[in-house]
Amino acid sequence: MSDTIVKVLLEFLSLSKNLLVLFVGISFFLNFIQAYIPFNKLENWMKSKNPLLGNLAGAVLGFVTPFCSCSTIPLLVTMINRNVPFQTVMTYLFSSPLLDPWILGLMAYIYGIKVTILYTITTFIFSMIIGWYLDKRNYQEHVKKVIVKGNIPEQDTARRKDLVLNLKLSIKEMWELVRSVLVYILIGAFIGAIIKEAVPTTFLNFISNQNQWWVIPLAAIIGVPLYIRLSTMLPIAQGLLVNGFPVAPTMALLIGGAGASLPEIIMLKSIFSKKLVSAFIVSVFLMATFSGYLFLLIEI
Per-residue pLDDT reduced to its tens digit, 60-71: 888 877 555 556
Provide the pLDDT for residue 181. Answer: 64
Higher pLDDT, 109 or 279: 279
Q: Flag whether pLDDT at 48 surpasses 80.
A: no
Average pLDDT on 169-181 reads 77
Provide the pLDDT for residue 153. Answer: 46
Angle at 123 between CA 219 and CA 156, to 5 degrees: 130
Q: Flag whether pLDDT at 125 surpasses 90.
A: yes
Higher pLDDT, 154 or 220: 220
Q: Flag whether pLDDT at 25 surpasses 80.
A: no
Provide the pLDDT for residue 203. Answer: 57
**Total-model pTM:** 0.69
Count Cα atoms within 13 angstroms, Cβ side, for 1. Answer: 0
Lowest mean pLDDT among 64-78, 103-117, 173-187: 64-78
Lowest mean pLDDT among 43-47, 80-84, 186-190: 43-47
Lowest mean pLDDT among 122-126, 190-194, 263-267: 263-267
Contact at 8 Å (CB) between 229 and 181?
yes
Nearest CA to 68 among 209, 185, 211, 228? 228
Task: For the chain, give the percent of residues with pLDDT over 90.
Answer: 12
In whole angstroms, give the CA distance from residue 289 to residue 223.
11
Beta bridge mates, 272? 143
pLDDT in tens, 132-151: 999 999 999 999 765 544 44
Average pLDDT value over all residues in the chain: 77
pLDDT in tens, 241-288: 777 778 888 888 888 877 776 666 777 887 889 999 999 999 999 998
Q: Flag whether pLDDT at 232 surpasses 50.
A: yes
Long-range pairs for 23-29 at CB < 8 Å and ≥24 separation? 23/102, 23/106, 23/178, 23/181, 23/185, 23/231, 24/174, 24/178, 26/101, 26/102, 26/105, 26/106, 27/102, 27/173, 27/174, 27/177, 27/178, 28/170, 28/171, 28/174
Q: Confidence class of residue 152 from pLDDT cuts 50, 70 and 90?
A: very low
Provide the pLDDT for residue 148. Answer: 46
Q: Flag whether pLDDT at 196 surpasses 70.
A: no
Beta bridge mates, 143? 272
Q: Flag whether pLDDT at 206 surpasses 80.
A: no
Average pLDDT on 67-93 reads 76
